[in-house]
Amino acid sequence: PYPVYAWLRDVEPVHYSAANDLWLVSRYDDVLAVLRDAPGFSSDLGKAGLDDNPFNPAIRIPRRLARLLDRLPPVRTLLTSDPPHHTQLRRKVAKAFTPRRIAALEPRIREITERLVDDLDDDLVRDVASPLPTIVIAELMGIPADRRDDFKRWSDELVNGLLTGGSRIRMARSALAVSWFFARTVRSRRHRPGGDVISLLVTRDQDGDALTLAELVNFCILLLVAGNETTTNLVSNAMLALFDRPDLWRRLGTDPDLAPAVVEETLRYDGPAQGLLRVTTAEVRIGDVTVPEGARVLPLTGSANRDPRHWADPDAFRLDRPAGDHIAFGSGIHYCIGTALARLETRIVLETLARRHPHLGPAGVPERIQSPVLRGLRTLPVTIRPTV
């Protein structure tokens, strides 16, 4: 997508795409302005009538299914709500993802990663990048190991239906199955709390605030959907960048301290989330363009992170950039709450692979995920022996 972004930024930085009724915003400053203006750009996508798939207008929800979905109460998650509801929800769930809680997971994530790398055969996505985040989030939520395959399937079908133009019927079926599963899990944790994230969320705050059953279920689903595929893709994108830079790969094997910078630069250079979705709450100006009320806006974070108006040498992969400047995790009130976990998992995978498989290399053409907003791989064929 990067040449297209360059064209957009130079020629039409706020571009209306009639095919999917979306306004594409591509310059760094404009993307940041959209993300920081929550009152002007709502995340409550229900308002935009998302009964079609904006990323694949050819796919429509069948009428019978649409009628069924209409009867369900509106699903408002953290990701798709505005203040004041968003503020309350975020306060309640943020405690589950503090940097301290996440840092404490390091030994266990290392253990899981070592085991997956033991079994690495010939596809890095299938064998390591894809299972790791699912296992970690399932353990965090106290989900029994024998349900992990269901867990992974629900997560994939929800993400595919939402963001890659996959089957919406399968998506709806998975949404029902996963809601049912989490509703039962939440009820059982209320009776018998443990040390997991769901138990933490069902217990009341000191100020007596509690999440409702629907809020809890929605948040569990969001955790499943928001963190799995994105983290898998961050690992894949980092490995692609490293395969192109064998010197850096060798250095990483002996100097694991390089890993955090590789993770950060991958987030900027080839981030898993290329675009986010907002709806204007009133007529608004972005750059020189007037966008009407109720318009769907796609701030392209992937483009912002390569904008030469902001970055020196944006198409180069460099480890010496200022920290915290990219917007791969968004910005403003919806800033990703899983950053510490995603960074930790990816860092551990890169360190472990570079140490244990210094000759790891590509073996064939990787298969890309087909989506305008998700950037990553379905398969990454590899060989762990040196090729002669």
Cis amide bond preceding 84, omega within 30: yes
**Which of residues 234, 242, 284, 353 is near ligand HEM by CB under 6 A?**
234
Nearest to residue 28, comparing CAs of 230, 287, 264?
Answer: 287
**Can you tell me the distance from the alpha carbon of 277 to that of 157, in angstroms, rounded to the nearest whole number?**
20
Select the span of 7-15, 154-162, 329-337, 354-362 touching ligand HEM (CB under 6 A): 329-337
Shortest Å distance, C-beta 334 to ligand HEM: 3
Task: Map the footprint of ligand HEM across residues 275-314, applying CB under 6 A.
Answer: 276
The CA-atom distances, in angstroms, between 325 and each of 19, 22, 244, 336 are 32, 26, 24, 14
Residue 373 touching ligand HEM (CB under 6 A): no
Residue 217 touching ligand HEM (CB under 6 A): no
Select the span of 167-175, 245-253, 267-275, 309-317 touching ligand HEM (CB under 6 A): 267-275
Residues 338, 226: contact at Cβ < 8 Å?
A: yes
**Which of residues 105, 128, 202, 337 is near ligand HEM by CB under 6 A?**
337
Binding map of ligand HEM across residues 340-359, x = CB under 6 A, - = no contact:
-xx-----------------
Residues 272, 301: contact at Cβ < 8 Å?
A: no
Residue 90 touching ligand HEM (CB under 6 A): yes
**Which two three-digit tokens encode residue 310?**
């902001």
Which residue has the closest beta carbon to ligand HEM?
338
Nearest to residue 331, comparing CAs of 66, 56, 26, 36?
Answer: 36
Residue 231 touching ligand HEM (CB under 6 A): yes
**Which two three-digit tokens encode residue 155?**
């997560």
Size of the site for ligand HEM (CB under 6 A): 25
**Which two three-digit tokens encode residue 180?**
């049912």
Shortest Å distance, C-beta 44 to ligand HEM: 11
Rank residues 160 and 237 by Cβ distance to ligand HEM and give the closer one: 237
* Cα 63 versus chain centre, distance: 30
Nearest to residue 276, comparing CAs of 179, 344, 358, 374?
Answer: 374
Q: Which residues of the shown chain bind ligand HEM in the complex (CB under 6 A)? A: 43, 78-79, 90, 137, 222-223, 226-227, 230-231, 234, 271-273, 276, 328-330, 334, 336-338, 341-342
